[in-house]
Copies of this chain bind each other. A is one copy, B any other.
């Protein structure tokens, strides 16, 4: 019996030439100001163990590729073996793993190594600030309002009644539609388009994102023809919402489509009309949420999963990749499969199906 379902040995990833170089190619990621190791530890919210606090830190990199002057991190035990061979100047690491640090290798010890490492990386490579100014080719309607410190790139179009908040960055070819409001510090990527939208502060649209267009609503005449239902709502994007490349968020038909503060959409996600999502939700690439579904706070959806319309998803629910949710999911529930069931049930179903597949079929009767 055991032979048929031999567990696949998980092979260790083999490095590929050319991808183990330290990541930050100065061609694309010019280094900002250097830090000292002591400053790095402070930024990371950690304690420096060993090492010279005055040591210059010039970059970051993964354990297998970082070199002198570069800081790395370890959060997943799976990569412990890389610690022994690393040439990093220091490693951001959790307390429970700090004892595994090789002799003489400085550690920045913090309960959140990934977060701390990110803050060091960010200090070394800050988000480029907007360079205030409007490219001469940008078309800005006289009835649009553009605040101070805004950067507007070549061929961007800002329509009548739009309001762009202080310090926004509007990329090349972006289209900001009539009446659209962007709070301060928003970043709109190349080729993105917004209409019928009110956005808060620090909202990010990645290239090609589409926000505010007409949702998929129509009535059917007795003769079988489709008549578009006017889509009279808007899209409301709360502070720090991020929308991935080529993702789409349709405006509401009768109410608004709302994404709560901090919610992030990965690339190619689809949000149907009238969907509301709470704060700090995470929708991984190619997720689709059908119209009028209501999603709570902190909901996580794995890649390519989907939710049908008019369904309610409770706070902190987790929806596995490729799932198909067709019914309400309660707060904190974990579901998977298509149709989606509680994950324990889904896993038992897969196991049962695999055992069933291993049996020879019964003789036809």
Q: Which residues on A are within 8 Å of B, measured CB to CB? A: 1-2, 8-11, 13-14, 16, 18-21, 23-25, 27-29, 60-62, 65, 112, 114-115, 118-119, 121-122, 125, 135, 137, 139, 153-155, 157, 161, 171-173, 175, 177-179, 189-191, 193, 195-196, 206-208, 210, 213-214, 216, 218-222, 224-230, 232-234, 236, 240, 242, 244-246, 248, 250, 252-256, 258, 262, 264, 266-268, 270, 272, 276, 280, 284-286, 288, 290, 292, 294, 298, 303-304, 306, 308, 310, 312, 321-322, 324, 326-328, 330, 338-339, 341, 345-346, 348-359, 361-362, 364-365
Q: Which has the most chain B C-beta neighbours within 10 Å: A20, A118, A252?
A: A118
Q: Is the Cβ of B222 less than 8 Å from the Cβ of A112? A: yes
Q: Is the Cβ of A308 less than 8 Å from the Cβ of B327? A: no
Known: A224-B280, A246-B246, A246-B268. 14 other contacts (CB 8 A): A8-B328, A13-B310, A19-B252, A23-B232, A23-B234, A27-B179, A29-B230, A112-B219, A114-B219, A157-B173, A171-B175, A208-B248, A284-B290, A355-B362
Instruction: Quickly give the copy total for this chain.
Output: 3
Q: Is the Cβ of A354 less than 8 Å from the Cβ of B345? A: yes
Give A365's nearest chain B residue, CB to CB: B1
Contact of A11 among B226, B268, B328 (CB under 8 A): B328
Q: Is the Cβ of A206 less than 8 Å from the Cβ of B214? A: yes
Contact of A16 among B280, B294, B338 (CB under 8 A): B294
C-alpha gap A114/B236 in the complex (Å): 25
C-alpha gap A122/B232 in the complex (Å): 10
Q: Is the Cβ of B179 less than 8 Å from the Cβ of A210? A: no
B residues less than 8 Å from A365 (CB atoms): 1
Q: Is the Cβ of A276 less than 8 Å from the Cβ of B16? A: yes
Pairs A-B, 7 closest by C-beta atoms: A349-B357, A115-B219, A348-B357, A23-B232, A24-B232, A62-B254, A248-B267
Kindly provide the distance from the CB of A309 to the nearest chain B CB, expressed in whole angstroms. Answer: 9
B residues less than 8 Å from A330 (CB atoms): 8
Q: Is the Cβ of A193 less than 8 Å from the Cβ of B196? A: no
Q: Given A19-B258, A227-B115 in contact, is the A286-B285 Cβ separation under 8 Å?
A: no
Kindly provide the distance from the CB of A90 to the nearest chain B CB, expressed in whole angstroms. Answer: 16
C-alpha gap A364/B2 in the complex (Å): 9
B residues less than 8 Å from A175 (CB atoms): 171-173, 190-191, 207
Kindly provide the distance from the CB of A48 to the nearest chain B CB, expressed in whole angstroms. Answer: 20
